[in-house]
A and B are shown apart, each in its own frame.
Chain A
């Protein structure tokens, strides 16, 4: 009955236009990227009973909401991508996208029920657990599909897909605010209704993507594409299976590369608003505008930096992220010292663009090293580095700056130690990146003869 979802029934016929696949990839990523904007629900959820204000001992606290929704969702994303990556490669993108839509949107429905019954565990099961599984499935399927469609420009392909995830916050945040404003009443903060409407909209969008997505026929190449005669050092024509890939040093070096890049970037992203207010004394409204600007650079950087990696190579672009990033982190304390807000904003925007760029370049790097055969599954396992960094980065920034403030350091200078530490984190990433070499032939997949 559901055979139309199978991989073999999604193989593109001759003459298929590959430019139909990027919108499918972006659509799925845009929907699941909504998790980046979850913070807009924090305050309303903390007033679910009191409505106009939080009722102590009855309403949920913001830290508990963040822990059981946003943080749990991102951790499960990593596990889901790692565990189901191989299944995704076997079943193909259409079935995976439909499964992702069912989990992600079903999770929103369960979370809505949890808000209605005021049961945080049910919200956690819905948004964090079930939704998180949908996030993992929806994150890797479009990326591996696009990489196969664009062997001539893999960086641009992964950039388009991962840019979609970055755009999720731009769309999901304002949409959630509009819906909550529409549904809020004397008895409701509007969250449960917003969850339901968003579940419906995202379900339609994700299934539209599943409907148009196709995989290339075996051996397909774009018209006029000729593989380079002189192979590049780090770009293999062989394949490595996921079960073998994670035993290679290259896998763990890339895991560290992603983890270090994300740790440094997410630390700033998560604390951008308080950092701007504490270091430069800007108002909360201006700091909010700063966060909005960072979201745009986070999204744009994914496409631009990853496309740039097609020209200078994946290793080269990561060297730029780490060296330039290190220099920029060291510039922020100087910007604070001379009270130059413009310099601070410009530096932070470039840092965040490279943070996004790191996400988008990683699958292309994996494709270069391990081939396209199971790149989605390998990508799924590398994404666990993100889960680790999502915890590490914000914790480092928050705790170290809080410690500094508690020990009498002026709040304008309380972030300096963290920024120096982040520069060091990027240098560790640089060393790991420089150590990456081509995968030994003994790991290459040899088809049974």
Chain B
């Protein structure tokens, strides 16, 4: 008796990955946008020593 292997459609696999990647990508983009102030506005309360480097530079 031989059983014919039922191949999974590559399209189905691609669609499944797109369905999870879209919200994931959107969430990642939102987090990157949220973290932008970190790279543009780091300030210390007192005078900063020379060793304090501003991120993003």
Distance, CA A175 to CA B10, complexed state (A): 30
CB-CB nearest in chain B for A294? B35
Q: Which residues of B contact A23 (CB under 8 A)?
A: 16-17, 19-20
Mask of A331-375 contacts with B, CB within 8 angstroms, 1/0: 000000011111001000000000000000000000000000000
- A286 and B6 form a contact (CB under 8 A): no
- A170 and B6 form a contact (CB under 8 A): no
Q: B52 within 8 Å of A by Cβ?
A: yes
Q: A19 within 8 Å of B by Cβ?
A: yes
Q: Knowing A289-B34, A289-B38, A290-B35 touch, does A171 contact B27 (C-beta < 8 A)?
A: yes
A interface residues with partner B (beta carbon < 8 Å): 13-17, 19-20, 23-24, 26-27, 30, 164, 167, 170-175, 205, 208, 212, 280-283, 285-286, 288-293, 295-296, 338-342, 345
A101 to chain B, nearest CB (A): 15
Distance, CA A17 to CA B36, complexed state (A): 39
**Given A27-B20, A285-B41, A341-B55, 14 additional A-B pairs, CB 8 A:** A20-B8, A20-B12, A23-B19, A30-B20, A171-B23, A173-B30, A212-B16, A281-B46, A283-B43, A286-B37, A292-B35, A338-B52, A340-B53, A345-B55
CB-CB nearest in chain A for B28? A170
A59 to chain B, nearest CB (A): 27
CB-CB nearest in chain B for A284? B37
B12-50 residues with Cβ-Cβ distance < 8 A to A are 12-13, 16-17, 19-20, 23-24, 26-28, 30-32, 34-39, 41-46, 48-49
B interface residues with partner A (beta carbon < 8 Å): 3, 5-8, 10, 12-13, 16-17, 19-20, 23-24, 26-28, 30-32, 34-39, 41-46, 48-49, 51-55
Distance, CA A205 to CA B22, complexed state (A): 12
Distance, CA A296 to CA B35, complexed state (A): 10
- A340 and B43 form a contact (CB under 8 A): no
- B6 and A15 form a contact (CB under 8 A): yes
Q: Which residues of A contact B12 (CB under 8 A)?
A: 20, 212
CB-CB nearest in chain B for A177? B30
Distance, CA A293 to CA B17, complexed state (A): 24
Q: Knowing A14-B3, A338-B49 touch, does A170 contact B36 (C-beta < 8 A)?
A: no
Q: Knowing A16-B8, A292-B31 touch, does A280 contact B44 (C-beta < 8 A)?
A: yes
Distance, CA A283 to CA B42, complexed state (A): 8
- A170 and B38 form a contact (CB under 8 A): no
Q: Knowing A340-B51, A342-B53 touch, does A17 contact B13 (C-beta < 8 A)?
A: yes
Q: Which residues of B contact A289 (CB under 8 A)?
A: 34-39
B41 to chain A, nearest CB (A): 5
Q: Which residues of B contact A283 (CB under 8 A)?
A: 37, 41, 43
**26 residue pairs bridging A and B, Cβ less than 8 Å apart:** A13-B5, A13-B6, A15-B5, A15-B7, A17-B7, A17-B8, A17-B13, A19-B13, A164-B20, A167-B27, A174-B30, A175-B27, A281-B44, A286-B38, A286-B41, A289-B34, A289-B37, A292-B35, A292-B38, A293-B31, A296-B31, A339-B44, A339-B49, A339-B52, A341-B42, A342-B54
